[in-house]
Amino acid sequence: MPRKWVGMKRILVEVVGILPMVFSNKCKPYCVVVRENIGSQIREYPDDLLKEYSKVVEYYQRLMRDFGNYIEVKVVNPMSLRGLRLNLKFRARERIYFVINNRISVGLNEDYSKLKNAIESEFHRINALANE
């Protein structure tokens, strides 16, 4: 992580989608807290959903490796008030997508590099505002 980002406010990365897993970056890197009985529930999911969930976990792990404590990851249920607002604002076309600081939306079907670049550009934007 570039030194100029040290001391900056964390970037909020919201994962919007109905997910069986809850992520937390308040514990060791790659910490994934799984609710009770989740294993039996997941086995019953269709293959396309299992692939999406695996991709979310992969992206989460990569985000924690690349940005660590510089980001805060939250899962947002699309049926919550916050989720409905984000769906309308970003005209969601995918079941699962990422929202960076309530400004940029990146779908799960996008390459990880697009998500990483969006977060880095948000860091640069905030840094530029702080230096004005």
pLDDT, tens only, 27-55: 443 344 444 445 556 677 778 888 888 89
Whole-number pLDDT of residue 128? 81
Architecture field, domain 3-130: 3-Layer(aba) Sandwich (3.40)
| CB 96, CB 13: distance < 8 Å | no
| Alpha-carbon span 75 to 24, nearest angstrom | 9
- Average pLDDT (59-63) is 93
What is the model's pTM?
A: 0.78
Residue type (1 letter), 19 = L
**Model pLDDT, residue 76:** 93
| More reliable by pLDDT, 67 or 1 | 67
The pLDDT of residue 23 is 47
**C-alpha–C-alpha distance, residues 6 and 29, integer Å:** 18
Q: What angle do CA 57, 125, 5 make, to 5 degrees?
A: 70
Closest CA to 72 of 44, 100, 48, 111: 100
- The pLDDT of 82-89, averaged and rounded, is 94
